[in-house]
Amino acid sequence: MKQVDQFKGKKVLVVGLAKSGFAAATLLKKLGAIVTVNDGKPLEENEAAQALLSEGMNVICGRHPLELLNEGFEIVVKNPGIPYSNPIVAAAVQQGTPVITEVEIAGLISEAPFIAITGTNGKTTTTTLINEIMKEDGRGTVLAGNIGEVASEVVQEAKPDDHVVIELSSFQLMGIQTFRPHIAIITNIYDAHLDYHGSKEEYAGAKMNITKNQTEEDFLIINADQEALLSMASASQAAIIPFSVHEKVENGAYIEDGTVYFQGEAIMQAADFALPGNHNLENILAAVAAVKLSGVSTAAVVRVLKRFAGVRHRTQFVREWNGRKFYNDSKATNTLATKSALTAFQSPLVLLAGGLDRGNGFDDLLPHLTSVKAIVAFGETADKWKETALKAGISQFEKADYMTDAVEKAAALSAEGDVVLLSPACASWDQYKTFEERGDIFINCVNKL
């Protein structure tokens, strides 16, 4: 870990705990900062806050009092999930106090270079693939961010010849000031999280922060099939490395006559990929570009791509039961992700969908429901899914209260040769704490059939 003095003796306010806030507060104290922690959860219910209090930090819990800012904080570190509209965060911004996320601190102290991945969809699969290929080639890696451990915690042990492979959300990237990955990837950009960002322009701008501190010595890997993304990337100082599933691209990764190429080198036949679905071709090309730029052998790339069948909760094969194949795509929390999952299969589908109602409908999925023979819906959007089934001409529709009920109904509606797919197109928070919890319950229910 690099010894830095940016925080020594400075008054720092950490807003929001959870894992990232706790790690940031602990590290900042180690770096000599005078740390105050503010979390909305009451102290008596807040084990993390109690632990920090025992470490001698000033802890204010149960509310976010604006008068805190009168104490002259020089830096605010906020949990990524707390929006900038939060009164105390908004007030800090208005008075000119720098507001960062813990990833910024991780970038300052890490001795290892970063391979950073962002995008609307595909970033977790891409991140996992890169990490697996790097390890296969004998490279030291540290997996961090949304997919791994808190970055500011795990990079403390990273060595100079390691690589920090990190998945970053738009929430984290909004707090970037000096963070500079050696290799940055933007898998794609679609409209998402507009309830947090307020506009698609702000959302896209947050994603582009991944490259704002890169220089000509760094690389930005981007989806060349998105013209808007190409246009935005032209402002980057990094070397642009494109990938495309539709056409040959100079200096990048592409597929031609069924073969994957990187900068003119044939890597392997696309037919040999273990990972299902056309949507995963983008993720594979982005990962190939990143590892080849890092000097990884082609043999390691081929070995991993021949066996890597997916990430948990992301079009994850669960089991085959009575001739039906069950897939868990609980990570599909928006219609775009569900569209990708639907197009990955040719077999007749029984779709399990539903969850938190964010006010949107599902009409944009209608062209992609042609292989769906039945829908089982749950959660707040169940009635909207019934309307969608009627519009799509899907006569077999069931409403379920819980996942156990949903899996049993889906199994009953399916036949030998069918695929039963959980791809909710909705967030999980109406019934479950996380999409992981929702997916785990689905897996358990399927394994009990």
User: Where does residue 317 fall: left (phi above 0), alpha (psi -120 to 50 degrees), or beta otherwise?
Assistant: beta
Residue 76, C-beta contacts closer than 8 angstroms, at least 6 positions apart: 12, 13, 14, 15, 89, 92, 97, 98, 99, 100
Cβ count near 117 (within 10 Å) = 33
Q: Any binding-site annotation on 119?
A: yes
Phi and psi at residue 114, to the nearest 5°: -105, 140
User: What secondary structure letter does DSSP report for 80?
Assistant: T
Q: Any binding-site annotation on 121?
A: yes
Q: Any binding-site annotation on 125?
A: yes
Report the distance separating Cα 208 and Cα 118, nearest Å.
9
Element spanning 376, H or E: strand 372-378
**Four-point Cα dihedral 40, 44, 49, 52, nearest 10:** 150
Structure tokens at 88: 């105390």
Using alpha carbons, list the distances in angstroms from residue 212 to 208, 222, 406.
7, 14, 45
Q: Any binding-site annotation on 124?
A: yes
Q: For residue 339, how many C-alpha atoms fall within 13 Å in the half-sphere facing its CB?
A: 12
Report the distance separating Cα 219 and Cα 247, nearest Å.
21
What residues are paired with 374 via a beta bridge? 350, 396
Return the exposure string of 211-234: e unless at least 16 CB atoms fall within 10 Å of the residue's CB, then b: bbbbeeebbbbbbbbbeebeebbe
Q: Which residues are annotated as a binding site?
A: 119-125
Q: Which residues are annotated as a binding site for ATP?
A: 119-125
